[in-house]
Amino acid sequence: MDLAYLRAHPAHLPTFRTHQRLRETPVAGGDICAAARLTLDDGHSVFAKSWPEGADRPVPEGFFAAEAAGLRWLREAGAVGVPEVIVVLPELLALDWVEPGDPTPEAAERFGRELAELHRAGATAFGATWPGFIGALPQDNTLTDGRWSTWFAERRLAPHLRRSVDGGALTSADATVVEQVIGRLDGLGGDEPPARIHGDLWPGNVLWGADDRAWLIDPAAHGGHRETDLAQLALFGGIPHLGRVLAAYQESWPLADGWRERVPLHQLHLLLVHTALFGGSYRDVVVQTARAVLGRAERATVDR
C-alpha cells in the first residue's frame, strides 16, 4: 500500500493493519485514543489514531468524523499548519505525518501571526455545522447567532459543569461558584464576532514540526472567541515561547482591551472539561479559576 492507493481506497486501511502489511510504530501521547505511525510501501508515513481495543465503551458515533471536519475547516483557511486528512472511518482517522522538531523562537513568532490569520478567517456563527466533541465528550455545536457571552455560558460552561457535578468531581458548593460566573458573563465584556478557532488549544495540541513551524492537532474546532484559543495556550505550564506567540499575534491583530483579565474566564471551559473527563483531581483549579473570574467582575463593578 502506497499513498496513492491509500487515497483511492481509504476503507482498506484497517485490513492492511490487521494483516500486518504496514510497518507500525506506536506514538506516545493522548488520553483517549491509541496512536501509531504507519509507514507505507513508498516510504510515506501517516499518523493513525483509533479507538483503543478493549475500551469500556464503543467509539461514540461521529467521533472521528467530527475531528476530520474540524481539521479540514481549519486547513481551508490556509493560515496555520494543519495536517491533511487522509482517511476518516468510523473507527479511525489517518493524517499526513508531521515530523516532530523543537520549538524555536522563530517558529513561535510565526505561529502567533498564523493563528491571528486563522482567527480572522471567521465563522458564520458560534458553533459549527458538524456535531462536536472535546476529548471523548460530546459538545453542542448548534449554530447560534447573538452574543458570545450568552452562547459561551449555555453551550460551553453549563453542560460541562453539569457533567462534572453528576460525575462527582465537583460538589454543589463548587457548582455554585461556577454558576455565579455563568450568571455574570454578560457583564464581563469581551464580546466579539465569531472567529475560526481550534477550541482545545492547550499546549499538547500544538505540534512543533521539523520544518520550524507549529501545527495544530486534535481540534474541537468551531466558531468561537479568539481569546479562548490564546487563553488555553497558557494552561498546564504554557506553550514554549508563549510571550513571543502573543506578541506576534498582537502585531498581526491586536486584542481588545482587558484581554489579559479575561484569560481565566476563557480557561474555565477547558478546565471544566477536565473535571468532567478526569474527575476531582482538577477540582481545585476549577474553583480557583472561577473565583478569579468573580474577583475580576467585582473589581469591574467597583470601578464603574
The three grid cell numbers given for residue 120, joined into one nine-digit string = 480572522
**How many whole angstroms separate alpha carbon 161 and alpha carbon 173?**
12
Residue 186 has what pLDDT?
83
**CATH, domain range 105-303:** 3.90.1200.10
Whether the predicted pLDDT of 19 surpasses 90: no
pTM beyond 0.85: the answer is yes
**How many whole angstroms separate alpha carbon 42 and alpha carbon 98?**
16
The chain-wide mean pLDDT, for the chain, equals 94
Q: Could you report the per-residue pLDDT of 246-278, keeping only the tens digit for each? A: 999 999 999 999 999 999 999 999 999 999 999
Residue 303 has what pLDDT?
53
Residue 31 has what pLDDT?
77
> Class assignment of domain 3-96?
alpha beta
| Residue extent(s) of CATH 3.30.200.20 domains in the chain | 3-96
| Residue extent(s) of CATH 3.90.1200.10 domains in the chain | 105-303
Any bridge partners for residue 100, and if so which? Answer: 209
List the one residue out of 80, 155, 84 whose CA is nearest residue 125. 155
**How many whole angstroms separate alpha carbon 16 and alpha carbon 222?**
33
Average pLDDT over residues 185-213: 94
